[in-house]
Amino acid sequence: LGGLRPCQRLERSADHGAFATVPPLFADDASCSVFTATPLRRALSIAIEDGTITHAAIANGAEVVAVLGADGDLSRRVLVRSKGGDVHPAEAPLQAWIDAAVADGQTVANVAVSPDGALLALGCHGLVALFDVASGDLIEALDTEGALVSSMRFTPKGERLVVGDFAGFVSAIRTKRPRVLFTERAGFDVVLDLAIAPKGDRVALVTKADGLVLFDLKKKRETLASHGPRGPVTSSAGEGAQPIGETAAGETWRWSVETGQPTRLEPAPEAAPLDLAGVPADSIVEVARSRDGESLAVLLDDGRTLVVTGERGAEPVEIPPPPQDGEDPPWPADVLLSGGEIVIV
C-alpha cells in the first residue's frame, strides 16, 4: 500500500469490508487511515490538527467513520466522515454534549459506530451515550453501573451494543428503544478488547488477568474461561477456532472455542549449556542457537567460534578464525546455525 505508518490497533467494520488504523498516542503524524478490503486501497485519512487520536470506529463499507481524540489543549474531539461526504467535526449537539460531560468531570474514553452508520456511541465512566450520526442529537445516555469503558462493539446487525470496562464487567445495551439489558462480571481485571460472534449471541473478551473469556449474551453469563495462563495477555492472534495468547510470563497458550480449555504450547528445547570459564564476557560478540535447540554457537571477538552439539555437558568445539587477508584479522559480526552449517559473518 505504501506510506503506512505505525499504528497501535486496527479497527474493522462488522462486514470486514473496511478497516481503519489508529496511530500510537502522541505520534508525530496522528492520522487515522481508512481502507477498503475489496479492492484493497486507502479510502481516506483523518487527522486531528495539533492533536492525537485514541480510538476509531467504522461502519460497513466505510460509509461512516468516526475518530475520537484530543486537540492541542486536550479537549476531546470527534471527527466524522458521513455517508458520501467529507470528514467534518461531529455535529454541534454531539460535541456540545462532550464538552459538558468533560466539564462535569466525566471521561470520554471510547467510540463505536453501528454497522449501518446510523448510530454513534461514546463510552465514559459507567455511562454510554447514543447519538444520531446525521443530526448529532443525543438519543439516550445510559448508566451501565460499571467502570470506565475500555472497549465496545455493536453486534453485526446493530441491535445491541456490547461494552467492556476496566473493572472486568460486560454490559449489553439494546439500541432500539435504548436500555441496559444487563451488566455482569466477566473477569477480574481490564477488558482489553472484545469480539462478537457473527450471530451476535456470544462475545469473546480478552482480559488482562484472566486471558480469554467467552460470554453468552443470551444466558447473560460467562460460559467458557481460560484461567490457565499466568500473568496478563499481551497479544492475541490465531486462525479459526484456535485463538493464541502470549502471557507476560513469556508463555504461549492456545484456546479451543469448543471446550474453552487452554493448552500450553511447549517452548523450543533448551540449548546445551556452555562452559565458558576463562572466556571474558566482553569478548562475546554474538550467540546463535539451532532451530531444534541441539546446537549452540558463541562467536568471540578474536574470530573464534565455540560450538556445543548434542548432549548436555559436551565439550565445546573450537572453530578457528576465518583466514586472514591482510595485516588485520577479520572483524567478526554475526554467527548463524542453519541446516547443520555454521555461517560466520
How far is the C-alpha of 53 from the C-alpha of 64, rounded, in Å?
17
- Residue 133: partners with Cβ closer than 8 Å, 6 or more residues away: 64, 66, 80, 82, 113, 117, 118, 119, 120
Phi-psi region of 282 (alpha: psi -120 to 50; beta: other; left: phi over 0): alpha
Q: What are phi and psi of 28, to 5 degrees?
A: -60, -40
pLDDT, one tens digit for every residue, the chain (345 residues): 555 667 778 888 988 888 888 887 766 667 888 888 888 888 888 887 777 888 899 999 888 999 888 876 667 888 888 776 788 888 899 999 999 998 888 989 999 999 999 999 999 999 999 999 999 999 999 999 888 999 999 999 999 999 999 888 899 999 999 999 999 887 667 888 888 988 888 898 888 766 778 888 888 887 776 554 444 444 444 444 444 555 545 566 666 655 656 677 665 555 445 556 567 766 777 777 776 666 778 888 777 888 776 655 567 788 877 776 666 666 667 777 766 677 777
Phi first, then psi, for residue 79 (nearest 5°) are -110, 140
DSSP letter (8 states) at residue 334: -
Radius of gyration of the chain from its Cα atoms, rounded to whole angstroms:
26
The neighbour count for residue 112, using CB atoms within 10 Å, is 27
Q: Does the CA dihedral 231-237-238-241 come out positive or negative? A: positive
Q: Name residue 263's amino acid.
A: T
Q: What angle is formed at CA 125 by the lines to CA 145 and CA 195, rounded to 5 degrees?
A: 85
Give pLDDT, residue 2: 53
Percent helix, strand, coil in the chain (nearest 5)? 5, 50, 45
Kindly compute the dihedral angle of the four CA atoms of residues 55, 57, 62, 64, in this order, to the nearest 10 degrees: -110
State whether the Cα torsion 100-101-105-109 is positive or negative.
Answer: negative
The pTM of the whole model exceeds 0.75: no
| Vertex 56: Cα angle to 51 and 226 (nearest 5) | 125
Between CA 291 and CA 202 the distance in angstroms is 40
Q: Estimate to the nearest angstrom the gap between the alpha carbon of 288 and the chain centroid.
A: 30
Helices H, strands E: what count in the chain?
A: 1, 29
How wide is the angle at C-alpha 315 spanned by C-alphas 310 and 321, nearest 5°? 100
